[in-house]
Amino acid sequence: MSFIDFNLPVLLVIVPLLGGVLSVVVGSIVGSRKDLAWGWALAVSWVTLALVIRMLLAVVAAPEGFVVYNLGSWPGPWGIEYRVDHLNAFVLLVVAGIGAATTLYARHSVADEIPDDRHHAFYCVWLLAIAGLLGITVTGDTFNVYVLLEISSLTSYALIAMGKGRDRRALLASLRYLILGTIGASFILVGIGYLLMLTGTLNMADMHERLIALPDFAENRTVLVAFAFLLVGLSVKMALFPLHMWLPGAYTHAPSAVSALLASTATKVGVYMAFRFMYTIFGRHYSIDVLPGHSVLLLCAALAVLVPNLTAIRQTNVKRLLAYSSVGQIGYMVMGFALANEAGMTGSIVHLFNHAAMKGGMFLAVGAVVYRLGRCHVNDFTGLGKRMPWTMGAFSIGGLGLVGFPLTAGFVSKWFLVKGCIEAGLWPLVVVVLIGSLLAVIYTWKLLERIWFTEPPESTADLREAPPTMLISTWALILTSVYFGVHASFTVGMAQKAAAFLLETTQ
């Protein structure tokens, strides 16, 4: 087994981590060079994607369905263990894929929005954010999750604040995210603390075995407190309604490339963490059957599908509209996750992938409008289909995906979600999903009508199409979502295996 294959799980965190640090070192030696900083980040992000794809193939080929890596050869539960199964591998692919596509996109957008002497620093923080998100996903150690969560959060605050050049509200949005995000992460830390007190271990798999071996597991009040702290902390991190208040401002005022990266990875990794904590550590039996947490989550998810989608309809800033729609889509993921049957969880995991591709592509398209126009007010989209047909074409297909139009990826995930609701006998939730889709039709149609069926104003006569790197990455994400809407066998297969693995290997 070659060096790279053996160390694959840790390399895919180390490469962007060191790559980020080197970006600043190089920048301070040769001085600020925009294209050098961008080219370096692009190379690092694509190498990371290659490593992640190799990791995915290794996991699929592994006979027991997961790959274990011991940091420094210290075996778990004493050392830090990286454990990659189908679920991690799939989420890793989402994070690294979005990272690679948005880095390609970032060239013009970042050159436009970030001061020239800050590019090396920007790409450093950018790569560190990707490293943090990949690290959370790959690790099998709860405290490691907390540390890497803070790495990705701190870098996100810095990235969002860099939008201050265009709008000073980015600073306020970043500070609000910092305060809420730190409280959320602290709650997660307290939850991990109570689990450590009970079990004496930090390793996820070991923790689960020690928890279910407790004689009074189901009634133990310390377990309950740990569960409550973790649930609230994770809900803040994944922006589950009503703890989503940090998200719309942060995504609206961040630089365009940052909005796309965070919108399609940060909250998804939050949902992934919820899967890990609820299923791998506490186990399905405790999280779903013993506690009423299940119905609380379903209620929050149903409200998350309805309320933010309603709020999205009356937004006048397109980035803000998409941000509210993201909060609504998190509702679908949490719903499938809380249904706790294979179809629902498959829907949830597939939607992680599909929504990342669709919403990422849409944020990139809006970023192209901001690049050309400097604004993204709903009125600015009047007749834009005639001025920037390629950008708007991608935006429109992404919008149809959000609605869940057949032949788009959104349809596949909603299909499984509805199937899960029916299998669980929860018919009201089917209605909620349908109403959520109708609300999405309203805000998507509001934009599509303005883009394609109105005449462009004279003031935009010299508006040109977005630069090629922007178009390529936007269309890459949108075509991914269309491809996996038609040929869903890869995504659905991965998600089904991940869901079955979670349900079968733990109690």
Partner 1 sequence: MNLALLEPSTASFLKVASLAGTYNYALYVVLMMIGFYGVIAKKNLIKQALGLGLFSTGIFLFYISMGVVEGGTAPVWWTTDEAHLLKAAGPYDNPLTHVLILTAIVVSVSTLAVAMALIVNIQRAYGTIEEDEIRAIEDAEHPGEGVI
Contact residues for partner 1 (CB under 8 A)? 77-78, 143, 146-147, 150, 154, 157-158, 161, 164, 168-169, 171-176, 178-179, 182-183, 186, 189-190, 193, 196-201, 206, 248-250, 252-253, 316-317
User: Would you call 343 helix, strand, or coil by DSSP?
Assistant: helix
Radius of gyration of the chain (CA): 22
Quick check: bond before 242 cis, omega within 30?
A: yes
| Distance in Å, CB of 231 to partner 1, minimum | 17
Nearer to partner 1, 188 or 349 (CB): 188
Question: Which region, left, alpha or beta, applies to residue 404 given φ > 0 means left and ψ of -120 to 50 means alpha?
Answer: left
Least distance CB 320 / partner 1 (angstroms): 8
Shortest reach from residue 113's CB to partner 1, in Å: 16
What is the sign, positive or negative, of the torsion defined by CA atoms of 482, 483, 489, 492? negative
Q: Min. distance of Cβ 359 from partner 1 in angstroms?
A: 20
Through-space distance between the first and last CA atoms of the chain, rounded to whole angstroms: 34
Tell me the closest approach of the beta carbon of residue 188 to partner 1, in angstroms: 10
Largest interatomic CA distance in the chain = 75
- Return the ∠ at Cα 154 (arms to 151 and 159), rounded to 5°: 120
Closest approach of partner 1 to the CB of residue 168, in Å: 4
Report how far Cα 366 is from the mean position of its chain's Cα atoms. Answer: 18
CB 38 within 8 A of CB 110: yes
- 291 three-state secondary structure: coil
Nearer residue to partner 1 within complex by CB, 231 or 392:
231
Inter-residue contact 387 to 456 (CB < 8 Å): yes
Question: In angstroms, what CA-CA distances link 336 with 167, 295, 422, 423?
Answer: 37, 12, 12, 12
- In whole angstroms, how close is the CB of 80 to partner 1 at the nearest point? 12
